[in-house]
Structure formats: C-alpha cells, structure tokens
Structure 1
C-alpha cells in the first residue's frame, strides 16, 4: 500500500529537478531566437545594401552608409548622419561640407518652412534638403533613395522638386546673377591673371544633358548626334563659377540659335556687359569680351578661334592657343558640375517642366560649393564623359558674324605679340 505514494514522491522530485533546467532551456531558446533575429535583420540590411549598389547607374555615383548596415533606415538620419558623420562623409554623401549644408538649409528655410505640413512630422527641413541633394548627387531612382531615408518615393520626388525651386528662388539672387561694374572689373583682373587673356569677363559654352525621348516634340529634342537632350548655355568667370545660365532649349537647336534666343544676347546688345563708356584696351575703347568656340558667331563681344583649315600666321596660331587655353575654364566647370551633381548625366525621373529649375539649381549649388571652398574629389569625374554621347558641334552661320569683330581679334593678336606672356 506504500508504493503509490513513493512513486508519486519520486515523480515530483524529478519534476522539481527538471524545472530549473526547463526554465533555463526556455531562456536559452529565447536568447538563441533573439540572436538569430539580430543576425537575420543584419543580413537583411546587408542584402538591401548589396541590392542598392547593384542597381546604381554608375560605379562612382552611389553612396551608402557602409559602416552602419544594421541601423534601421528610419533611424539612419538621426542616429548616424547627425551624430556620427565625419567631414569626409558629408562631402561624399551630399557633395558639400557640413557647414555649407546647414548654411544652405538656413538660406532655404523661408521658402521651405511653409511646406512642412505636407510632410510627416519626422521629416525636418534638413532631412528634406538631404534627400534632394542625395538625388541630385547620385542620380538614382526615387524608389532606390526611398528606403535609405525611410520615406516613400513620392516624398523623395516632392523633396527634389520643392528644394530645387527654393534654391532657384532664394539662392539665385546671391550666387547666379549679372555682375555689377565693379565685379566685372574684378573678373577682368582674375581672367588676365589666371588665364593670360586680357579684357575678358568670361567663357561661353553649351552643355547637352541627355534625357529620355519625350512623348511630344521628340524630334525637336534629338540633337545632331542622334540622341535626345536639352541644351544649356552658360557663362563662367575666371574661377569657373557660373554668372549666366539659359537652359531647357531643345537639343536640336544650334549654339548660335540658342545664343540669339538667350538673355545674354539681349544684355550684350543693350550694352550691359561692359561699362559705359567702354574701358580702353591697346589704346582704343573696347567692350569686354567673352570667349567661345567655333559654334558661336564672331562678335565685337564674342571672340572665337581662327579656322584651323586656313593658312594661319604665327600670331593667329598664338591667338588660337591663348583663347583655347582660357576657354578651358568653362569646360572644366562643366566637368565639375556634372561630377558633383550627376543627375545632369541623364535626367530620367525628371519631367521636362521641372528640368529648367533642376539644372539651374545644380549650377547654383555648384557656385555655392566653389564659393565656400568645399573640396572637390577627383574620383567624382569618373564616367562624366560617356564616349557614346559625343558633343554636337555645328559651326555658327556666317550671316551672324559681325564684320567689326575681326578688328577686335586682330587687336588681341597684337597684344599677345607685343605684351603677352606664357
């Protein structure tokens, strides 16, 4: 009659001993599960990073916070960018220093503050500017940028549009405007000191920006090389900073036709590109000049090289050399512009209506970076000149040539023969 109680006691004793082990095993399983989940989400984030890198358009145009793959996207801006980014990180990700970034944000605040109600409460003005700069710098799709900042693709598109408009509205009067008379004189000194070309206030050229064929007027945007583009005409000073930009012309237009349709042509004809009366050069009153290539007409305010197929004198060859060397300042400026803001390498996500604002915003931001002495990474230049998209080039028609301009070019030849150095 004692066996059942004894068996019961033994059973209860075994259960008591097994209890802590069972609890421990349960806790061990929970710890294992938590470790597995951490590993799973870390690997998931790494796979997302790999996918994003694989989808980038070019080898040098995409950046991701490699050192923090396990940080959730929603926290990346607050916990990583704002607290842990080093100076080089700001430069690589946003193409400008941290100080310049917050300067731009403060300048844009009056134009962007009233849009705050359109965004989620966790998307501050600085984050909106960061989203827009990331797109302009990398040229990746809205859908790719979206998970990086923890926002939707539509929000990325809105950030790009509204920040671009704000840049043009608020920064253009400061960084992209017609110089006054004193500033023009300073530009002449800089051009002469840096490039050895006298009486010059800038270099003139155009930039073809590839686009997808538009649904309407597709033939108008197909340039002479057979690819679709919009055309931007720009003028830079001796430091490579833009001071006149006319953009969004159809790619089929020639440089001479764009010039005649631009505000620069009107300013020159009104005499607003030089003092009144003009300053003296080589003993004669002479307008300040711009330097162009063979696609522009020879004017008393635009100089271009002598045709190479002609039998040129030594002084004419010297003039061509000097002009081409000085004209390279705008070629370098275009390269730096596209390297910083690689959206200009191919505008896919942007509508034709937004393109003029976007191009202007990139030119203005280029000037901001240059004026604030932000470093330029030469590695950004990789891939900025696709060999399959050569620049269209059509000489200016003879009907646009100004007969008096030949005297100006001859005057320059005399200067280089008697006074020029280098």
Structure 2
C-alpha cells in the first residue's frame, strides 16, 4: 500500500510539473505574440504618417505648379467645373452635356442635398453637391468610361463610381414618391384624356411595354441574359401614362426572362387586379360601367384591365387571316396607343445613353440606375426641358435595337371577361369608322 501511494504521489507531481511547464510556455508565446503585434502596429502608424506627409508635400508642390501655369494649360483640370461649366456654359451646353437645363440641374441638387452633402476632413475637402451631381449626370448621359470623367473633373475613378451610386440611390429614395408614384384620380382622368385626344384610344390610362438594356457578359449564368435577339441584356417592365411619364418601373431581370413572369409577380399586377388604376366611382364607356384599361404588347396576356392586339390566326393554311372590320380597327388604334410607351422609352434612352449603349456597370447597380433614369426623365418632362431630336437619331443608329417578344398564347384567368371588354372597344372603333 505504501508503494502504491508513493507512485500515485509521483504521478500527480509529474502531471503538475508538466502542466506548469505548458502554462509557462503558453504565457511566453502570448507575450511574444503581443510584442509582435505592437511592433506591427507601430510600424503601420509610422508608415501611415510617412504617407500622409508625402501627400501633403505633393499637394503643396502641385498647388505651386498650378499657380505658375496658364488657365488653359494641359495640367489636370481640377477646377474645370468651377472655371468653365459654372461660368461659361450656355443653355445649349447644359442640355448637351447634362441633358437638362441649368434651372433643372440646380433644382435637382437642392432636392438631393440632404443625402449627398459630405463633411470636410483634415486632409481633403469634400466635393460640393453640385459637382457630385454633375459627375453622375455626365456618366448617365454619355455612358463614357470612368477614366474619362475622372480626367475631366479632376477626381479619382473610384470617386466617379461612388458619385454615380450615391446619386442614383438618392434619387430613388428622395424623389420616387413625388415623380414616380401610383396615379391619383385627377392624374388618371388627365391620362385618359391624353390617350383619347392624341392617340384616339378612349378609356385608357397607360401603356405597358418591356425595356431591354444591353450589358457586358456577366461572370455567372450569362445564358440567362440572352434575349430573343441573342444579345445580352437586362429586362425591365415600364408603364407609361398618356403624358409620356413613367408611372411604374419593374427593373431589372435577365434578358431571357418571360415578360409575363415579370408582370404577374409585379406590384402593378396586384394593384390593377384590385382596380387600383381606376376611380372609385367606375366610369361609363359605351353605355356600361367599365374600369380604365391599359394597352400592352402582344407578349402580355389579355386581361379585363390589360388589352392586347388581336393576333392573326389562320383557320387553314390556304386562307387569309380571319380578322373582322372591328378587330382590324382595334389593332390600328392599339398600335397608335402603344406608341406612347415606345416614344417615352426612346426619349428615355436618348436622354440617358447609359440605357442605350452597352452598360458596363455591376448588375447590382443597374436596377437603381434604371429607376433613377426614369425619375430623371419625369423631372425633365415635368420641367419641360428641351429634347433635341438628334439624340433620338443617335439611339436609332445604336447597335442593339429593342427585341420583339413572341405573342402570348395561353389564356388568362379572366379570359372570357377580357374578350367581352375587348369586343366593346371593337364596337366603339367600328362605330367611329362608320
């Protein structure tokens, strides 16, 4: 028994000594790691102070050189915005470069000031709101590379990218409720009057259409972005009022997405199904109470609130398309009404060429950019800024015209009621022709 107790005591003593040795070794390792961390930290701060000192010296040298050069020398034009744009630009220059008048530009700056204002730091002054907006508008209007805008405004490429992102997000956050919202009853009445007076289509408040925007090849699932014409794009759904303003925009889906899927999963579908685009007191048309309707491309399904053209269905291969006089008149006036959306999208893409040329922005930025451009379009149209026709000619010569989707073939849930509504319009147009 005594030998056993001695062995147990020796074992416990040995275990305690080993544990103590491990604790001492661990403490030394931690102390050594802490010393290395402090050394690295001191080295980092030393290098940072050295870089800041070099930047201050370089800034002083550039300032002294800038004072010695002539105003139109080839040095970086960091003051081009203040020296040329704000003092020498004429009204035509503002329209050509920023796609809006000077008054609208400063109105936009005042609206975005709460979100775009930045504070000065000890080492650099923050860009003024006006310059940040100008940098972003130049990018949206021309779709030129960040490098070119960087050299033009005397800012870094990363600053250009940040200006574009910040302004687009600010426009959507601050101005969508004012310039792109569900219409009230007065706006519905005005839009219906515009469709009737300018397009000859009664009882209609909006036109629905798909909008494709060309993009560079994404890193993943590039085949999903191939549209019916074969080129890569993102697809948006737009609803345009009789005045040519965008009421609703659903952006941005892969170009190969079926427009019907976008429509049926959008807030516009849910609102229209509940009668949200018609006055509380249902208006009368052709002697019956009928809610206002939309007109849409053949790729959309026929609904009681969404009218689409009659497709040419042949009974036999040897027979001509069987469309009666009322249906042909309906299709003719439908095409005129659909031009509202086509013309609005053309003006949108012509004014903001980032939507007409191949867009190289990240896919996560595009939805906000599309919404921001649509809101800017509404602002310019509301302020009646001049639209130059040569902009449309540039878009017409673009490499990627808008694709044509195949007509929708499946029957809608309220197909019978929708056919009755479309028949009422056929009777109306047939009576007008007689």
TM-score normalized by the length of structure 1: 0.80
- CA displacement 1:61-112 (0-9 Å, x = unmatched): xxxxxxxxxx961121111111111111111110000000000000111121
Gap runs ≥5 in structure 1: 1-36, 46-70
Find the aligned partners of 1:330 and 1:116 in 2 and give their Cα distance.
Answer: 44
Find the aligned partners of 1:204 and 1:119 in 2 and give their Cα distance.
Answer: 51
Equivalent of residue 412 in structure 1, options 396, 419, 425: 425
Q: In the TM superposition, what is the alpha-carbon distance from 1:308 to its structure 2 partner?
A: 3.2
Rg bigger for which structure? 2
Q: In the TM superposition, what is the alpha-carbon distance from 1:384 to its structure 2 partner?
A: 1.5
Q: In the TM superposition, what is the alpha-carbon distance from 1:225 to its structure 2 partner?
A: 2.0
Residue aligning to 1:332? 343
Q: Does 1:395 find its partner at 2:399?
A: no
CA contact (8 A) 2:180 2:248 kept: yes
CA contact (8 A) 2:104 2:380 kept: yes
Find the aligned partners of 1:387 and 1:380 in 2 and give their Cα distance.
Answer: 15
1:184–1:81 Cα change, 3 Å: same
Residue aligning to 1:191? 195
Gap runs ≥5 in structure 2: 1-67, 314-320
Alignment of 1:8-157 (within 5 A): 45=74, 73-114=77-118, 120-121=124-125, 123-157=127-161
Find the aligned partners of 1:397 and 1:256 in 2 and give their Cα distance.
Answer: 11
Residue aligning to 1:322? 333
Q: Does 1:217 find its partner at 2:229?
A: no
Equivalent of residue 275 in structure 2, options 271, 275, 283: 271
Partner of 1:73: helix, strand, or coil?
Answer: coil
1:81–1:149 Cα change, 3 Å: same
Q: In the TM superposition, what is the alpha-carbon distance from 1:169 to its structure 2 partner?
A: 0.7
Q: In the TM superposition, what is the alpha-carbon distance from 1:186 to its structure 2 partner?
A: 1.9
Find the aligned partners of 1:115 and 1:289 in 2 and give their Cα distance.
Answer: 50
Partner of 2:330: helix, strand, or coil?
Answer: helix
- CA displacement 1:101-129 (0-9 Å, x = unmatched): 00000011112125776995262100000
Residue aligning to 1:8? none
CA contact (8 A) 1:225 1:389 kept: no
Residue aligning to 1:180? 184
CA contact (8 A) 1:236 1:243 kept: yes
Find the aligned partners of 2:302 and 2:419 in 1 and give their Cα distance.
Answer: 8
Q: In the TM superposition, what is the alpha-carbon distance from 1:397 to its structure 2 partner?
A: 3.1
Find the aligned partners of 1:176 and 1:105 in 2 and give their Cα distance.
Answer: 18
Superposed CA RMSD: 2.3
Partner of 1:225: helix, strand, or coil?
Answer: coil
Residue aligning to 1:233? 237
TM-score normalized by the length of structure 2: 0.78
Residue aligning to 1:261? 265
CA contact (8 A) 2:293 2:307 kept: yes
1:119–1:190 Cα change, 3 Å: farther
Find the aligned partners of 1:115 and 1:348 in 2 and give their Cα distance.
Answer: 31
Residue aligning to 1:353? 364
Partner of 2:194: helix, strand, or coil?
Answer: helix
Equivalent of residue 389 in structure 2, options 358, 362, 378: 378
